[in-house]
Structure 1
Amino acid sequence: MNIHEYQAKELLVRYGVNIPKGFVVTNTKQIDSIPFETGKTYIAKVQIHAGARNKAGGIQKIYNKQEAISFCKKFLGKRIITPQTPKEGKIVSAVYIEEALLGNQELYVSIFADRNNQCNTILVSKEGGVDIQETFKVNKSNTVCIDPLLGFSKFYAKKAACAFNFEKDKANNFVILISKLFMLYKDIDAELLEINPLLDTGSDFFALDAKIVIDDNALFRQEKILSYTDILQQEPLEFQASQNNLNYVRLDGNIAMVVNGAGLAMACLDTIEDFGGKCANFLDIKGSATKESIFKALEIIYQDTRVKVIFVNIIGGIVRCDIVAQALVDFCDAYSFNLPIVARLEGANKKEAIDILNAYKKSNISMAKNLREGIEKTILLAGEKN
């Protein structure tokens, strides 16, 4: 789960991390209550769940209330397209206005779940700011892997500080900062906590920007984080799926896919691509799917006007094949759904499922004997190879 910059900074403050003084604006009328100081520079930032905002004009220096109003009117409630947003862009939910700070150097610090090394890793660089990826490409960074058996200790923070050659007092401040960041990272079940840039003012460190991503699987125990949910930032169909315990990701093709099991779904998606098709979605109904959740999955697909054919690939185990077949029939009847559906059903109650589909009067549902036949038939019905 992603959260906004201003929400991330709210969490940072709770853990004693310095941030510039800032204000959240969701309505231009709120600007009247912001005490702008004459001669002081401010930074206005659009709040979306995507990066590269500056490349679309979404981060600007402002100097007074009139410029703040103009910036907010330009972006609030409208879509902004950056190199990291979908093609249609993201709706600007809020604008964050904060005081501009000057310092000696902009640094980079992050803590993330390093799946390659199977540990949490601290990543630091002397060169923070825009296009940090280019910095990493030329190896201007330092990584510190935290042993999962030992857990975090100040030793790891001191090791990260070695990348900067700080004087003693500043090094101590940096170690304290890393310790605070890791405590926050752990407490909120984060997958990523990124400060870019981290400003070295000479006397202390300030987080000028912050990005936090939380593990979705841990949200059941993160009530505060759940309150940060911004529906406007989520793709509508993906949000509907999340509310119904379905794993759904919208893709760019025209073949809808309904599969039980994330691994099977990935394999199915890759195979369709290899055979020349293109999927409209990744949709895992999970092994414990019910007739109701399968019906809901089909309703979500029904709302996607790009879809030309649905491929249902089920290995019956916990969810029985006859339950899937009955859900398909009920859905087609309820919505007078006439688009072709290709079903490959294997496992528990396969015979009963075949009987249900054979007895169905409409001809838009067809069975496939195996995965290859199902995919070839699906791509043919989609009408084109991509």
Structure 2
Amino acid sequence: MPSAPPPGDPAPADGALPASALREVTGRPLSFYVHVPFCRVRCGYCDFNTYTADQLGPGGGPDAWLAAVHSEIDLAARVLGEQAPEVSTVFFGGGTPTLLRPSQLTEVLAHIAGRFGLRPGAEVTTEANPETIGPAELDALLVGGINRLSLGMQSAVPHVLATLDRVHTPGRALELVGLARQAGFGQISLDLIYGTPGERPQDWQASLDAVIAADPDHVSAYALVIEPGTAMARRVAHGEIPPTDDDRQADYYLMAENRLKAAGYENYEVSNWARDRSHRARHNLAYWRGDNWWGVGPGAHSHVGGVRWWNLRHPARYAAALEAGHSPAQAREVLDADTRRIERVLLELRISDGLSVEVLTASERGRLPALAARGLIEREDERIRLTLDGRLLADAVIRDLLD
């Protein structure tokens, strides 16, 4: 979640949605995102809505968070009503969800299931910091219904982890892949960051080799972005570390594509690779396809039927709103038809299934031949997809298409 959401419009105290949004509830899959804002240490590059223990204050700790989250699930059930479909995916993100006891996470899942039901085969993911989880926790999570694990590995190289302020040892995430397999997890993802200041090509190659040796089902690899206001941005400003290098990050992306493809992974979204279609992250696909999701927790964002809203950010303020019987939404925006169409272009063009040409206006369709001639897109069966070169320039391709 970005550090500065848009100002938006006032959100109703009861959380009510317009009739137009409610009419779309039954027509699309429903997902839940649960934001756990707690971290032991705040990484220098992170601008997510996270808090260490000394930043929480009265009413902001895990117990208050848990009570508030349960209240917001009840609120979601009242707002969406009986027409809400069973939930297709649930994602516990953070922060560090595995700082909580497994029973706290699985109680939240049970509450969502009790209120809405879970579709057969529903994907339920938790992010996990490698140093906060072991065999006992893995067993408890799996028994409680969490069936997918997303491990924040970031790098296999000690000095890169140190620059990122990550506290886990390089091999711990890899060890956890094996432990999760032994526990019975059938969906395991490793997350990487590339382009960290001081990361050499051989460092990135070592991380890719380590990931492939661990044999996860899914790999995410994100270019490091140094966000304003973060500790890393201050280090760059003071000349302590160099800024990121776009050309080097492009080279590292190509290394990832080549190495992962050779190992049998397919790229299905610009920054994500999976063993096959069955191992794609269905929760993230719900975002990219514009489905409905309810974001539970401090600072969480939601989208239902063209209405987008975001919660109060600080855990204590979030919990206080729900304790008072109010929606925790800070603000919201109702998207008009053209904004929703543009967002379809922005999001669906990033996935390998591509974008239907019919979504584009006549003038936008007129720009397709030039983009194809530059080798940035390909067109097949009235769908357009980014080529590998197009993925490297995805934002520019989309900008050129929509201008």
TM over 0.5: no
Tell me: higher relative CO, structure 1 or 2? Use CA pairs within 8 A at least 6 residues apart.
Answer: 2
1 or 2, which has the higher helix percentage? 2
1 or 2, which has the higher strand percentage? 1
The higher radius of gyration belongs to 1
TM-score (normalizing by structure 2): 0.22
